[in-house]
Amino acid sequence: MSRSLAWGYEPGGGGDWGTGRALGVPAPPQVPPGARAPAVPAARATSPARRPGAPGLPVASGSGLRRFPQALIVGVKKGGTRALLEFLRLHPDVRALGSEPHFFDRCYDRGLAWYRSLMPRTLDGQITMEKTPSYFVTQEAPRRIHSMSPDTKLIVVVRNPVTRAISDYAQTLSKTPGLPSFRALAFRHGLGPVDTAWSAIRIGLYAQHLENWLRYFPLSHFLFVSGERLVSDPAGEVGRVQDFLGLKRVVTDKHFYFNATKGFPCLKKAQGSSRPRCLGKSKGRPHPRVPQAVVQRLQDFYRPFNRKFYQMTSQDFGWD
């Protein structure tokens, strides 16, 4: 796997992320939609049995063991989840799956043993991680993750829901030329009520999604990372994450520089490399111009949901 798929930009360089895979990590097995992976027990709604070879126990293979993730980046789409994962991968005690396995939303019927087989091997004391931003808005994800391990640490990168929606739209537009305008999709009947059935809008109702998670996990299991501060102060946000994961603060401001061409913080040296690297061009895409009146209406729409989210998390993200 070419490293440039993960870190597509560097001074004088180009490229794209493409697959969302990263740094030398093999892609998960590709199984056609609807097909089942062979000889793997289905995931159960109860905790995995504690017997050798059972889904709950680590599997020895080569150097280190494949273990279930102890920490997950569960959201949100377009929040800055890739940047956070790649920053954390600089830490010697973090091993992460480069691709998004989508186990707790799309692939759950492949079973826990399949899921664990995707994970990189870790030594004692190292943390296994993966990120799949759609988990945060998947109704069944909290129950399923809880049944894997009620001790799982959950990280949510959140961003102003209006900017997030525009970013989401920009991504869809890049794959679907001729898409109706953002404004046409955001409001029903022209400039009628906000269309909460549109996923770009619905994902930003953070308080509602969090309520579903809190039925299974206490707040102490969550860390909410500001997507805005991840850009303005990456070392500060990654410092909070390292504390939350019980890790030494190894990733610090020494690892970052601001790349004026990219307009984002980049790494002075990516994992296993001596060269500076930025994320690929699908991260930090130009956004289409959205009229200020549309932005304002959405700001007003989200305000009560944002306030509720601030209350629930005891954190003010400053979006209002």
Ligand X SMILES: Nc1ncnc2c1ncn2[C@@H]1O[C@H](COP(=O)(O)OS(=O)(=O)O)[C@@H](OP(=O)(O)O)[C@H]1O
Q: Using the rule CB under 6 A, which residue among 55, 80, 101, 161 binds ligand X?
A: 80
Sheet holding 71-75, edge to edge: 94-96, 127-131, 71-75, 153-158, 222-226
Cβ neighbours, 10 Å, residue 141:
25
Binding mask 187-226 for ligand X (x = CB under 6 A): ----------------------------------------
CB of 284 to ligand X, least distance (A): 4
145 near ligand X (CB under 6 A): no
Binding mask 228-257 for ligand X (x = CB under 6 A): --xx--------------------------
CB of 265 to ligand X, least distance (A): 5
Are 250 and 239 spatial neighbours (Cβ–Cβ below 8 Å)? Answer: no
- Using the contact rule CB under 6 A, the part of the chain among 141-149, 184-192, 203-211, 277-285 near ligand X is 277-285
Q: Rounded CA gap, 161 and 132, in Å?
A: 18
Tell me whether residue 106 or residue 188 sits nearer to ligand X (CB atom).
106
Q: What letter represents residue 148's amino acid?
A: M
Q: Choose the catalytic residue: 78, 153, 254, 281.
A: 78
Burial (0-12, 13-18, 19+ Cβ within 10 Å), 199: middle
Q: Using the rule CB under 6 A, which residue among 284, 295, 299, 307 binds ligand X?
A: 284
- Using the contact rule CB under 6 A, the part of the chain among 37-45, 52-60, 80-88, 183-191 near ligand X is 80-88
Q: Is 286 among the annotated ligand-binding positions?
A: yes
48 near ligand X (CB under 6 A): no
1, 22, 286, 288 alpha-carbon torsion, rounded to 10°? 100
- Using the contact rule CB under 6 A, the part of the chain among 74-82, 146-154, 183-191, 292-300 near ligand X is 74-82
Active site residue 78: yes
Residues that bind ligand X (CB under 6 A): 77-83, 133, 167, 170, 230-231, 264-265, 279, 283-285
Q: Catalogue the active-site residues.
A: 78
